[in-house]
Chains A and B, each alone.
Chain A
Amino acid sequence: MIAIDLTRLLAESASEVLETMYFTGVIGLLDAGPAGEWVCTALDFRGSRSGSLGVRAPLATARTLAESFLGAEPETIATPQCFEVLGEMTNMICGAILSRLAPEEQFSLSPPQPEPEDWCGKWKRHTIATVFELEEGALALWLDWELP
């Protein structure tokens, strides 16, 4: 039951951010994302609930999202920009999640940082981890939290 609610929480939060500022949306859930190179950014949050959130995307999806966000031509998007755009998305999705969990509580968020590509090994250790199918590509979110 908790897992279902958390999946919905992640889906609603990701949808809000993607539809508003990345001009795409969540269309479903995937068992796993496509093979190939992925990029990942994560941040920590501190407050009445503390934890961390990670956002991970295939490089091709990250590039498409960066194009939409920056309004840039595809050939001008470099991998560091993909990390920057994914980092900002992580920041906004975290804000959307926390505002749903605790609308009137203030949290401190660390700056989003690139995460090493060992996500698959950590996948099952997260409180919740989900892969969403987007209109163009896939997006994976993981969330860990602990009560104070």
Chain B
Amino acid sequence: MSFAVMIVDDSPAMRAFVRRILDMSGLEISRCLEAGDGSEALRLVRQNPVNVILSDINMPVMDGEELVRELNADPELRHIPVVVVSTDRTETRVQKMLALGARGYVTKPFLPEALRQELEQVLEVVHDRD
């Protein structure tokens, strides 16, 4: 099974890093979209459905918290799981993002294996639901 992924981060370098990890992950990625903030991510995902979104929190225009809120408020999009990728490792923030509807949380810096495992876990959940 192949997956469409969206990477949301205001850092082009981090987006390239994550894309590189996805390329090496062994997962079959059919399409990898990139967005620089939550607003661009929403615009893109409405036109190009994806299986999972990997999103930073701290971004200009629309941050990751607002992105998760917007996705969950949209009946067409709320099924898309979001894995948060952030430097903020406080338990308060982790629990807040999970309560808002994020499915996973990976703190930067992270080993490629950690992101791959999180992604596999989330995608398996989606697969089971399908």
Contact surface of A with B, Cβ cutoff 8 Å: 16-17, 20-21, 66, 69-71, 81, 84-85, 87-88, 91-92, 94-96, 99, 103-109, 111
Contacts and interface: CB of A to CB of B under 8 A. Distances in A.
Contacts of B92: 104, 106
A88 B11 contact: yes
Contacts of A107: 88
Nearest to A13: B109
Given A20-B109, A109-B58, A95 B89 contact: yes
Interface in B68-89: 87-89
Nearest to A85: B13
A99 B13 contact: no
B13 A104 contact: no
Contacts of A92: 87, 108-109
Interface residues of B, number: 22
Nearest to A91: B87
Contacts of A111: 10, 60
Interface in B46-64: 58, 60
B36 to A, nearest CB: 11
Given A85-B13, A87-B13, A99-B90, A17 B20 contact: no
Contacts of A91: 11, 87, 108
Contact of A88 (B13, B88, B90): B13
B88 to A, nearest CB: 7
Among A91, A94, A99, A106, max chain B CB count under 10 A is at A91
Interface of B: 10-14, 16-17, 20, 58, 60, 87-93, 107-111
Contacts of B12: 84
Given A91-B108, A99-B89, A106-B93, 7 more contacts: A17-B109, A70-B17, A84-B13, A92-B87, A95-B108, A107-B88, A109-B58
A106 B109 contact: no
A66 B71 CA distance: 33
A99 B89 CA distance: 7
Among B93, B107, B109, max chain A CB count under 10 A is at B109
A21 B17 contact: yes
Contacts of B60: 111
A69 B11 contact: no
Contact of A109 (B13, B14, B16, B87): B87
Contacts of A94: 87
